[in-house]
Amino acid sequence: MRKIELKQVTVQFNQKHRQTLAVDDVSLSINQGEIYGIVGLSGAGKSTLVRTMNLLQVPTSGQLLIDGKDVTNVKGQALSQLRKKIGMIFQHFNLIQNKTIGQNILFALEAGDYPKEKRQERIEELLSLVDLADKINDYPRSLSGGQKQRVGIARALANQPEILLCDEATSALDVETTEEIIILLEKINRELGLTIVFITHQMEVAKRLFDRVAVMDQGKIVEENDTFSIFGQPQHPFTQKLVGRHMNLVLPSELFDQFDSGQLLELTYLGEQAIEPLISLISREYPVLMSIIHGKIEYIHGKAIGRLILHIDGEQAVIDEVVRKMATKVDHLRIVERQEAL
DSSP 43: T
Q: How many residues bind ligand ADP (CB under 6 A)?
A: 12
298: β partners? 305
Question: Could you tell me the smallest distance in angstroms from the CB atom of residue 228 to ligand ADP?
Answer: 24
Of 37-45, 170-178, 275-283, 316-324, the window that binds ligand ADP (rule: CB under 6 A) is: 37-45
Nearer to ligand ADP, 52 or 159 (CB): 52
Strand-pair category, 195-200 with 69-70: unpaired
In angstroms, what is the minimal distance from the CB of 64 to ligand ADP? 16
- R_g of the chain computed on alpha carbons: 24
Task: For the CB of residue 240, give the shortest distance to ligand ADP in the complex, in Å.
Answer: 19
Least distance CB 271 / ligand ADP (angstroms): 33
Q: What residues between 56 and 95 interact with ligand ADP by CB under 6 A?
A: none
For residue 59, the minimal CB distance to ligand ADP (Å) is 13
Site for ligand ADP contains 166 (CB under 6 A): no
Question: Which positions from 7 through 26 interact with ligand ADP, judged by CB under 6 A?
Answer: 13, 15, 20, 22
d(CA 162, CA 202) in angstroms, rounded, equals 25
Nearer to ligand ADP by C-beta: 40 or 140?
A: 40
Region for 173 from its dihedrals, namely left if φ exceeds 0, alpha if ψ lies in -120 to 50, beta otherwise: beta
Residues paired with 12 in a beta bridge: 21
2 has which bridge partners?
31
Give dist(CA 189, CA 166) in Å, integer: 13
Work out whether 202 is an interface residue with ligand ADP (CB under 6 A): no
CA torsion angle 298 227 148 125 (round to 10): -120
Closer Cβ to ligand ADP, 38 or 158, answer by number:
38
Contact present, 1 and 30 (Cβ < 8 Å) = no
Query: If we measure between CA atoms, which residue out of 127, 132, 177 comes closest to residue 157?
Result: 127
C-beta neighbour count of 276 within 10 angstroms: 9
Is residue 52 close enough to count as binding ligand ADP by CB under 6 A?
A: no
Q: Which is nearer to ligand ADP, 18 or 75 (CB)?
A: 18
Task: Tell me: does residue 3 bind ligand ADP (CB under 6 A).
Answer: no
Angle between helix 145-156 and 175-192 (nearest 10): 20
Minimal distance, residue 146 CB to ligand ADP, in Å: 22
With contacts defined by CB under 6 A, name the span among 38-46, 110-118, 121-129, 262-270 that binds ligand ADP: 38-46
Q: Is 42 in the site for ligand ADP (CB under 6 A)?
A: yes
d(CA 227, CA 39): 11
- Quote the least distance from Cβ 210 to ligand ADP, whole Å: 16
Give the Cβ contact number of residue 116 at 10 Å.
9
Residues in the chain: 342
Which of 41-49, 108-116, 184-192, 286-294 is the region at the interface with ligand ADP (rule: CB under 6 A)? 41-49
**Chain residues that interact with ligand ADP, rule: CB under 6 A:** 13, 15, 20, 22, 40, 42-48
